[in-house]
Structure 1
């Protein structure tokens, strides 16, 4: 129990250090701290979580490998514009895969017939909003990206928007503590990724480094907390309970 608490304290401290390093543009050091934090988080999850799920585990592992690859990229030879940056594409593809594991984790627990029956209109609205938001957000960095980079960023942004939509549908269907924590974590991930896109390709504002890294740390805190809980199934809303009373 003491080691468990010690690891959690160390992770919180490393999260704070990560935010500071990213905020002050020490990106190499920040990337290293982020990789170490993810290794510790994966160990914490594997050893001290009673009800582990393979999809969340692979999310942590894949994200950790992507972070390590991003860190290694700082020490790789500089890539010319005409050459392929394998570190860039490899890391981003791994990030996409990690988010797909999270999406799969939620989707496999949903009853599709019941979900579509109850939430057909919200699902259609979310699909329309996702297409609009992904196109709008990705187009803001179009001038700074090649065709292949733009395509990768488009897929990347599409996946995180799908993650947010699935998290929202999951919460609307289940209405329990685990689903709201997952939704908050997903919202923080979306904010972090959008702000990070602006930080690297649009605005040269160091404050954005603090903001996107803070949202990323908060997202993983909520993801870890929800991983310790179990879904309780669809719950009646407060309004429904009042009507029944």
Structure 2
């Protein structure tokens, strides 16, 4: 129990350090601290979570591996002109896979017949908004990427928006504490990814470094908190029982 508390304190300190380093545009040091932090978060989940989810653990492993590859990328020899950055593709594909695992984790517990019957209109609206937002966000960086990088970025953005939509649908369906924590974490993930995109490719404002890194840390705090709760049946939004006078 003491080691558990020490590890949580260390993770909070690493999270704060990560935010400061990214805010000061010390990306090499920030990615180093980030990689260490995600490794320790995975250790915390594996060692002190009573009811583990295989899919959530796979999410943590895939995301952590992507962070480690990003760290390695700073310490390899520089690429020559025209040379393909395979590490960039592998790290981003791993991040896409990690978010897809989160989507799958929520999706397999949904009663699709009930969801589509009760939430038909919200689902249609979310699909339209997702297509619009992904196209709009991706178009802002179209001139910064080659064709393959742009396709990868488009898929990345699509998965992020799908994650948020699934989290929202899951919350509307379940209406409980775990689904609320997951939704909040997904909201912070989405904003973190969008602001990070703007920071690297649109607006070179160091203040954005503080913002996107803060959102990422907060997102994983909420993801970890929700992982400590079991999946339960939906909570009714209202009751048909008469109110006693």
Normalised-by-shorter TM-score class: over 0.9
Residue 5 to residue 183, structure 1, CA distance change in 2 (3 Å): same
Q: Describe the superposition over 1:48-75 as per-residue Cα deviations: whole angstroms up to 9, x where unpaired.
A: 1001010000000000000000000111
CA RMSD of aligned residues (A): 1.1
Aligned to 1:98: 98
Cα pair distance change 1:110/1:83, threshold 3 Å? same
Cα distance in 1 between the residues matched to 2:30 and 2:242? 53
Question: What residue is the counterpart of 1:62 in the other structure?
Answer: 62
Task: Report deviation, 1:241.
Answer: 3.8
**Structure 1, unaligned stretches of length 5 or more?**
none
Q: Which residue number corresponds to residue 25 of structure 1?
A: 25
- After superposition, the C-alpha distances for 1:173-229 in whole angstroms (9 at most, x for unaligned) are 000000000000000000000000000000010000000000000000000000001
Structure 2 equivalent of residue 182 of structure 1: 182
1:1-245 equivalent positions in 2, closer than 5 A: 1-237=1-237, 240-241=238-239, 244-245=242-243
Partner Cα separation in structure 1 for residue 220 and residue 16 of structure 2: 13
Alpha-carbon distance between aligned partners in 1 of 2:82 and 2:124, rounded to the nearest angstrom: 41
Equivalent residue pairs, number: 243
TM-score by length of 1: 0.97
Contact 1:66 1:94 (C-alpha < 8 Å) held by counterparts: yes
CA distances 1:85-117 after superposition (whole Å, capped 9, x unpaired): 011111000000000110011001111111111
Write the deviation string for residues 21-54 of structure 1: whole angstroms up to 9, x where unpaired: 0010110111010110111110110011001010
Q: Structure 1: how far apart are the matches of 2:18 and 2:38?
A: 11
TM-score (normalised: structure 2): 0.97
Render the CA deviation track for 1:105-162: whole Å, top value 9, x for unaligned: 1001111111111111111110000000000001011111111111000000000000
